[in-house]
Structure 1
Amino acid sequence: MQSAALDKLRQQVATLKQQAEQFDKAKLFSKNRYMQAQPSLFDRAVFSTKSMNLVDYVIEIEDEIASLPPSDHRHAYTYALERIASQVQAVFNVIKSTPIWVKENKSHYKPRAKQPIYKQAVQKIMQSSHELYDELKQNHEFERRLVLMIEERKLQMEKASPAQAQKLNQEILTTHARLGRCRKAISATEDKIQQVEKQHLR
């Protein structure tokens, strides 16, 4: 069952890669000074890649799928899959916005627009506060699961042999690192919510 689901995910990512290649070839950010000034298309909490090419992010997704933990490590496997799903959605959101960027490039010659065209485009790409609250809720759920995993391993260590204790300790350290990344993601999402709500209040 899991193998079939993984195969379907790989097919979806292969399609996403083709769409990302078409997006990059169209050079839709090339005339946009705001986008050209950005070091990265996505927040570091979502991708570790820093690039203005969508294909580079899809390659990171492929690497994440290739290095999925074994499915019998249920918590780690589920957490990794959920992260991949959020990455796929993030890339899809940019591709979905293609008409906005096409329109932005065509309208670039108009000097007296009431609001800079790039701002309109960026605002349309930005997640709504509703989506961000969903993301925050999901990140808090990841945090809760990771804390539980750490507590479970600590309890297991009390009855473990020295060899098992060493293995459990390594798992605790790894989970702590994931928890750190998750909490960074929570902070980043909270910052985004504040920015979006400030814009709505203007």
Structure 2
Amino acid sequence: MDLQGTLRHQLLQLQQQAEKIDRQQRPGKPQNWFDSTVFSCRSPHLTDYVSEALRNLAHLADARLSPAAKQRLVQRLSEQTAALTQAFRHVDVRKKSTSKSRKVATVVQQLSAGSQQLYQQLSDTQEFERRLQDMISLNGRDNSAEAIQRGLALHARLGRCRKALFDIEQQIQDLERRN
């Protein structure tokens, strides 16, 4: 599966999660989920934002786009996927709706890893995040098709890295609460 296919698959998974979250929302005043510089739509529904990111991904395949336009679109798509990932993380934290298997895995990890190991893991992951950001900024100077593909791959890795950072921080907080 190519990088665009992988990103499309991830966005479709986010869309399924967004549909579940949208169904659970309480009626009331609609809220805008994201900053207007990241998404052009304004909606109380997360699915609308995921759909916009999917449209941008589909537009990336348009052969008529110049390399500069593709680079801008990749950057926007990167910002959108980062914002979506962050929003889903916060929804999960607010609802505290983690699955049983994830809770079990977290407990096992906390029992097997001491506080010092978690802080070291956090430090290592933060360093990896910084290196990825440096690679992304260096890659952004090149407008070739290969650079765009590399950019998509780097942004996907950055998203996974940030998720890992969040998970490590949660483990540290849980461990400190118990002590």
Which TM-score band (shorter chain)? 0.3 to 0.5
TM-score (norm. length: structure 1) = 0.43
**Structure number with bigger Rg:** 1
TM-score (norm. length: structure 2) = 0.48
Q: Relative contact order, CA 8 A, sep 6+: which one is greater? A: 2
